[in-house]
Structure 1
Amino acid sequence: MAGPLPLGDPAPSDGRLPDDLPIDPAVPFSAYLHVPFCRVRCGYCDFNTYTSSELRGAKQEDYATTLIGEIEIARRVLGEAGALRPMDTVFFGGGTPTLLPAGDLARMLDAAASAFGLVDGAEVTVEANPDTVTPAVARTLAASGVTRLSIGMQSAVPHVLATLDRTHDPENVRTAVAAAKDAGLAVSVDLIYGAPGESLTDWETSLDAALDLESDHISAYALIIEDGTKLARQIRRGEVPTPDDDVQADMYELADARLAAAGFEWYEVSNWSRAASSRSAEVNRSRHNLAYWRGNDWWGFGPGAHSHVAGLRWWNVKHPAAYAQRLAASESPAAGTERPDEQSRLLERILLLSRIREGIALDEVPSANRTRVAGLIADGLVDPVAAVKGRIQLTLRGRLLADAVVRELTD
C-alpha cells in the first residue's frame, strides 16, 4: 500500500466544484480508472494496491458497480459546473486491471463513455500483467473500445524478476503481445532498470527481448527505492545491494541508443514510441500520459485516485472498503482537495513540460532564471538550436540530469 494521502482541505461530501473554478472547455479531458487489486505485491511497489487478504470486506466482484457509482457523481458534478467534455483518453491502471474479468472493465468503460462521451479516435489503454492476457481477454477488450494494452514486462531476466518479486512467466509476455496484436490492439511494453544485482548485460538482454516483440511503444523506468517497501527494507538490512546511480545512467544511455537504432523516438524522459511506416512516431505516443505532463484536466476514479480540473486537485480515500462505503451512501469518495497558487502551478508546469521532447517555451520560465539557460547549454544539458528558437529542450545528458535542469529553471 502507498504512503499517506497528501494534506489538504476537506473535500465536500457531494463532490461539488468551487463556483469560481476557471474551467476552460477547450482543455482536453481524460479519465483514469484505478483497479487496486494484485495477486501479490511486488517488492518495489509503492502504489495503492491490495492483495485479497488486505481487502477487509471489499469485494473484487463488486468493484465495477462501485466505481460506476463514482462515474455517476462525476457526471453530475461536472455537468453542474458546465464542464462536461468528451474524453480524449481513458487509462485503466493499477494494481492489475486485468485481474478483473474483461467484461467488468468493458462495463466501466461503457459507463464512462455514456456519461462523458469519447472524442473520435480516443485512446483507451489497459495495463496488464502478462499472465492475465489471453486471446479471449484481448478480444473482449478490443470489442469494448479499448485501443491499447500496456504490458508489464519489467525484465526478461529471471533473477531480476525475482528481485522485483514479479511472478509472471517471462514467456507469457510474448503470448500476451501476440494476443493483443491479433485483437487489433496497439501494444506498449513497460521495463524497469537498475534493480539490485542487475548487470548491464542483464539490461541488454531485456532490451533485446522487448525490441524483439515489435511493440509500438516502450517505457523504461529507473528503479526508485520507495520508503516502506519490501525492497527498501531488504536494502536497509543489507540483504541486497543499493542500486548504483552510475550503472543506471549507463543503462539509460544504452536504452536510448538501442531504441533509436530500432526506429524508436524518445518523447518523454522515460518513454519511446516507434514510427509506424511512413507515419510519425507521434502516432504511437501515450496520449494519456502526455495529458498529465501537459497539465490537462482529468478525473481519477477509484481508491486513492487523484484528479485535476482547472488547477483544482483532489484525491480519494485509499482503501477499497472505505471507497465502497462512501459510494454506498451516495457520497463523494474524495478525501481532500487543494488549489495550488499561481507560483506553485508554474513550478509544476516547468517540471513536467521540461521532461517531454517539445520542452517548454523560454518565456514561461521566470525572467530571473532565463540567464541560467546559457550555462545549461554550456554544460550540454539543453539543446542550443532549440534555445535560439525560444524553447528549452533536453539533450541526452540533460535527460539524465533532468532534476538539476529544473532546479536551475525554478530556484
Structure 2
Amino acid sequence: MAFALPEHALAGLGTRPFGVYVHVPFCATRCGYCDFNTYTAGELGTSASPESWLEGLRRELDLGARALGDAPAAETVFVGGGTPSLLGASGLADVLDAVRDSFGLAPGAEVTTESNPESTSPEFFSGLREAGYTRISLGMQSAASHVLKILDRTHTPGRPVAAAKEARAAGFEHVNLDVIYGTPGERTADLRASLDAVLEAGVDHVSAYSLIVEDGTALARRVRHGELPAPDEDVLAADYELIDSVLSAAGLSWYEVSNWAASEAAACRHNLGYWRGGDWWGAGPGAHSHVGGVRWWNVKHPARYATALADGGSPEADREVLTPDEQAFERIMLELRLAEGLPVSALTADGAREAEAAVAEGLLDAGALAGKQRCVLTFRGRLLADGLVRRLAP
C-alpha cells in the first residue's frame, strides 16, 4: 500500500514544530497498569526481533522523508516505548543514525530517550552522549517498594536516583524522572518519600501522572475483582497539590499540567510540539503521526509492521482527517494545559463567555484574561481542566 498525504496537510509544513517519535515495542516484563503497545520476548517468540524492527524502522523513516518531501530537519526526536534502553547504547545509536539519515537533525535538536533504570549504567549513558542524545527520561514511578510491587515494576526503589546521577555525570544536563501517584496502597508518606528521592537525584524535569486504570490491563482486572480499590479522586487532588507544592518550593515550575521544569531550557521541547499543534512522524509499531490536520497510526504487531515495510508498502493501519471543529477542540484541549495558556482568539464567542465565567469560578487567571487576552489555568483550574475544555470548545 502506497503512502501519501493530501496537499492541504503538506501546505504548512515547516511553519510548525516538526519532530520524530520512535516507538520501541520491547519490554522485559509487562507492568500491570500499562496499556502501551509493548511485547515481551516470550510473547513475540521468533515472529519479530529488535533486528527486524530496526530494519523496518529504517524503511519507514525513508518512506516518511519521501512522503513529506521538503520536510524540515527534525527539531526534536523522542525514543519511547516499551523499554528503549533494552536496545543498549549501540542499538539506540543505530536508531538515531536512522533518523539522521532520513530526516536529518536541525542544529541544536533535542534528542530524548526513555530508559528503565535497571537497564542502564554509566557506560550506557556515556554511549548515548557520544551517539548524540541530549536528554534522558527515566521511569521512577515511586520510591516505595510496596507501590512498585502493585505496579509490577521490577526496579529497586533506589535505582532511579542512582541512574539519574549517572546520567548527569555522563554529561546530560537534561534528565527527567517520571512519577505515578494515586496507586492503591500509596500513603502520603510514600509520595513524600518519592518526591524527596526526586529532589535528591537533582533532575531538572519531573513528569507526574495520576494512575489511570486502563481497560484490558492486569491492574484493571484486579480492581474489577475487588482485589484493589480504584484510585480516589479526592486523594488524587490532594496528591497533586502536594507534588506541586514540593516541586515549586524546590525551583521546579509547572509548564504543563503534569510537567515541571527547572528552567525554560529544561522543558521537553518534543512534547511542547504536541501541545502547540506541531507536526511529527511517529515511526514504529502502533506509532501515531500528525501532519497538518491529518492523523494516522501504524499496525501494532512488530511482525506485521516489519513485513509490510519489507514488501515495499506502508505500515499505516488507518487515518483520520480532522475537521475544523475537531482541530479547534484539540487546540483548546492541548494549549489550555500549558502555563502559557490559550489565546482568547482561539475561542468562539460562546467560548469567550465561558472563559469569563471560569474566571469568576476561580478556574482561569483574571489578570491573564484581562491583560494578555489569554486563558491561563489557576491551580484549581488545573484540577478541573478536562471539564473546562468541554465548556470552552465549540
Q: Is the 8 A contact 1:64 1:105 kept in 2?
A: no
Superposed CA offset, 1:143-164 (max 9, x none): 1110011000000000000011
**Letter of the structure 2 residue corresponding to residue 138 of structure 1:** F
Distance, in Å, in 2 between the alignment partners of 1:64 and 1:227 is: 30
Superposed CA offset, 1:158-196 (max 9, x none): 000001110111222122112211211121000000001
Which range moves more in the overlay, 367-376 or 337-346? 367-376
* 1:336 equivalent among 315, 318, 321: 318
TM-score (norm 1): 0.93
Match of 1:299 in 2: 281
Which range moves more in the overlay, 31-40 or 362-371? 362-371
Which range moves more in the overlay, 96-105 or 248-257? 96-105
Distance, in Å, in 1 between the alignment partners of 2:317 and 2:88 is: 28
2:139 match: secondary structure: strand
How is 1:332-411 mapped onto 2 (pairs within 5 angstroms)? 332-389=314-371, 390-410=373-393
* 1:147 equivalent among 130, 134, 140: 134
Q: Is the 8 A contact 1:350 1:360 kept in 2?
A: yes
Distance, in Å, in 1 between the alignment partners of 2:143 and 2:271 is: 25
Distance, in Å, in 2 between the alignment partners of 1:378 and 1:28 is: 35
* 2:236 equivalent among 241, 248, 252: 248
**Letter of the structure 1 residue corresponding to residue 242 of structure 2:** L
Match of 2:80 in 1: 93
**Letter of the structure 1 residue corresponding to residue 151 of structure 2:** L
Deviation (angstroms), 1:59: 1.1
Q: Is the 8 A contact 1:37 1:49 kept in 2?
A: yes
Distance, in Å, in 2 between the alignment partners of 1:162 and 1:50 is: 20
Match of 1:258 in 2: 246
Match of 2:65 in 1: 75
Q: Is the 8 A contact 2:3 2:67 kept in 1?
A: yes
1:221 match: secondary structure: strand
1:101 match: secondary structure: helix
Matched, 1:38 2:20: no
TM-score (norm 2): 0.97
Deviation (angstroms), 1:101: 2.4
Distance, in Å, in 1 between the alignment partners of 2:351 and 2:102 is: 44
Q: Is the 8 A contact 2:223 2:230 kept in 1?
A: yes
CA RMSD of aligned residues (A): 1.1
How is 1:9-408 mapped onto 2 (pairs within 5 angstroms)? 13-21=1-9, 22-56=11-45, 57-79=47-69, 83-185=70-172, 186-274=174-262, 281-389=263-371, 390-408=373-391
Q: How many residues align?
A: 390
Deviation (angstroms), 1:76: 1.4
Distance, in Å, in 2 between the alignment partners of 1:372 and 1:334 is: 39
**Letter of the structure 1 residue corresponding to residue 378 of structure 2:** T
1:263 match: secondary structure: coil
**Letter of the structure 1 residue corresponding to residue 249 of structure 2:** A
Instruction: Show structure 1 runs of 5+ residues with no match.
Output: 1-12, 275-280
Superposed CA offset, 1:69-120 (max 9, x none): 11111111112xxx32111100000000001122121112112112222122
2:113 match: secondary structure: strand
Distance, in Å, in 2 between the alignment partners of 1:73 and 1:122 is: 21
Superposed CA offset, 1:249-283 (max 9, x none): 00000000000100011000000001xxxxxx111
1:224 match: secondary structure: coil
Deviation (angstroms), 1:20: 3.9
Deviation (angstroms), 1:205: 1.0
Distance, in Å, in 1 between the alignment partners of 2:8 and 2:134 is: 36
Q: Is the 8 A contact 2:55 2:306 kept in 1?
A: no
Q: Percent identity?
A: 51
Deviation (angstroms), 1:378: 1.5
Distance, in Å, in 1 between the alignment partners of 2:229 and 2:56 is: 42
1:69 match: secondary structure: helix
Which range moves more in the overlay, 105-114 or 335-344? 105-114
Deviation (angstroms), 1:367: 1.1
